[in-house]
Structure 1
């Protein structure tokens, strides 16, 4: 009788720890058994593992990722902004993830987090651009995400805030881009704001040059790209430089080369373009994908070696080790499309891919 009880207990333990518990907390599955999620490579993209393990039992990592940012002070800290699942964080370079719970409840658990800005000097300083309460808001944390305070909200309902940036040379200066077309600046760390420019269209992205804090780029839904070199005082329209490339205005990603501050890549339905003069002129980067065959969804540059470029198209990654002259394909064995690529700033062998965004 005792032996039978032992068998029953053993079977229950196998069921709990072998099947039920991994279902709730996630597992590092082989890519062939999963179709969406965050995938991680530690060998420059040769092999991949699913990186979705949640430290909260019963809470799964949301499938729709809107933003992916390394902490600029400590790149082992990674933030994910999700659609309807709020902010998530990994403090161990993507090994495990946890939802960030704001103790003040200013960040809703169902918030859409469109951008995350962190400090190069203080790893606890964070600005979020979120959509919640039927409007866009900017929230600030000075304690690493334990608490957040509201520092800005759009005056008109249904409009969002889609970008935030901290000037690395003067972190009291913060910039945001809104769906109303506003580029705003705070000179006192978010206490007050002023409008530098109202654009004729909404803004959906804000990119800052990390090597030149005064240089920023904004993008509109219709593929209009603008650059400022003086934190918003004046602007240059960059669209004419790539207008001759068919469908190049359908921009999917914008990446700056950390080793060469004047080099920028844009991916689009056209393919891949590169500028070496901060966006004034553009040239095609030839790929081994047929013209108009697949949209390039994301681009990434090796943070230590500018000659190594990654491009995502469909469910495959393409890599060049000679500045785009020659390419090789690296299939990921997933069925969904790869939406974003991110290379760890301090270790370019570590690459993350967002699949099925």
Structure 2
């Protein structure tokens, strides 16, 4: 089995044993990492789409089709484990793909793609044809923007209610959180948090418990998103700019967050993100910074993270804007640098703040 590690793709996996392959989305295509035969290390097995900046990777589990969404490069798909790819973007009128997700609806598997400018598309035939869901932009978009050029908001993250895949949560950066209960035919704005929405993570055992990371901290709701509390802020120990957030699917009180000390505007000036990975064992109420093998206040930003639950334990992977992939195979207790020297893993041009330093 393979899993993916990218900025805008899925982040939580369940499998019978640790995956042998991790597909990583970089600014120079898809890199397939493979476990060494002894199981202790990793190596690069092959590369593909090396002229593309990959924002998001998705493996559709029923068909095994792998999707790659590109920065200004549209959409590609592979049916042979990522060795060969074909362009699948008919109907995809926006070519800058930021996020990917899929769900099984009543009529079959549906793949969703979010773009910049912030639009939402779906495909019911594994990417051979795409249709826009215009209702995403039926809400008030007058405040949708982004600080960095070209100043246009994007659809950063897509998630589903764990018991009802017709219910979607869409994070627009910057624009807020939107919710649909009819698979995207209609949307409503979910108020109560900062407009700079990064990720939506939902407790699978208690779907009323929802977590949001934003540009000024983490928010939590205990009533399905009707009301929100801000649980961390700009001065919190985990870092003031939390982005990547995962939880254990069978033990959802166990969570991990990757956060920078400050936002990307400061990275461009200081060439320093001060990144940390932190762990919570009480559903996000308190956090412990992880330092066993992980450098504290890492210079580059963490731009991708995923968790794989494989029964006896679980693995966590975190990738940086300077091309390192960090790994823990013992539930986050100890970390090691699995590979280095890859092309940057990066949303947009985040990597430029670090590779030019």
TM-score (norm 2): 0.68
* Partner Cα distance (1:126, 1:98) in 2: 16
Match of 2:338 among 313, 323, 330: 330
What residue is the counterpart of 2:291 in the other structure?
Answer: 286
Match of 2:237 among 234, 241, 245: 245
Is the contact between residue 299 and residue 309 of structure 1 (CA under 8 Å) also seen in structure 2?
yes
Cα shift readout 1:68-92 (whole Å, capped 9, x = no counterpart): 2232x43722222211112222233
By how many angstroms is 1:318 displaced? 3.6
Q: How many residues align?
A: 289
Structure label with greater radius of gyration: 1
By how many angstroms is 1:114 displaced? 1.6
What residue is the counterpart of 1:115 in the other structure?
Answer: 99
Match of 2:165 among 157, 164, 171: 171
* Partner Cα distance (2:108, 2:47) in 1: 23
* Partner Cα distance (2:258, 2:237) in 1: 12
Cα shift readout 1:212-239 (whole Å, capped 9, x = no counterpart): 555443332x242223344322223221
Establish whether residue 42 from structure 1 lines up as the match of residue 34 from structure 2: yes
Q: Which ranges in structure 2 are unaligned for 5 or more consecutive residues?
A: 1-25, 145-151, 260-273, 348-354
Query: Which structure dedicates a bigger proportion of its chain to strand?
Result: 2
* Partner Cα distance (2:70, 2:204) in 1: 24
Matches within 5 A, 1:159-308: 159-197=153-191, 199-209=193-203, 213-220=207-214, 222-240=215-233, 243-245=235-237, 248-268=239-259, 269-295=274-300, 297=302, 298-304=304-310, 305-308=312-315
By how many angstroms is 1:119 displaced? 0.6
Establish whether residue 309 from structure 1 lines up as the match of residue 343 from structure 2: no
What residue is the counterpart of 2:8 in the other structure?
Answer: none
Is the contact between residue 177 and residue 184 of structure 1 (CA under 8 Å) also seen in structure 2?
yes
Cα shift readout 1:86-128 (whole Å, capped 9, x = no counterpart): 22222333232222122xx2x13x6211211211567631222
* Partner Cα distance (2:56, 2:42) in 1: 24
* Partner Cα distance (1:311, 1:61) in 2: 21
Q: Would the alpha carbon gap of residues 286 and 91 (structure 1) be closer, same or farther in structure 2, given more than 3 Å must change?
A: same
* Partner Cα distance (1:264, 1:290) in 2: 20
3-state SS of 2:169 partner: strand
Matches within 5 A, 1:14-25: none
Give structure 1 regions of 4+ aligned residues with deviation exceeding 4 angstroms: 120-123, 208-215
What residue is the counterpart of 1:24 in the other structure?
Answer: none
Q: Would the alpha carbon gap of residues 149 and 324 (structure 1) be closer, same or farther in structure 2, given more than 3 Å must change?
A: closer
CA RMSD of aligned residues (A): 3.2
Is the contact between residue 70 and residue 78 of structure 1 (CA under 8 Å) also seen in structure 2?
yes
Cα shift readout 1:13-54 (whole Å, capped 9, x = no counterpart): xxxxxxxxxxxxxxxxxxxxx9943221232652212331xx
* Partner Cα distance (1:224, 1:301) in 2: 21
By how many angstroms is 1:283 displaced? 0.6
* Partner Cα distance (2:27, 2:111) in 1: 31
Is the contact between residue 245 and residue 270 of structure 1 (CA under 8 Å) also seen in structure 2?
no
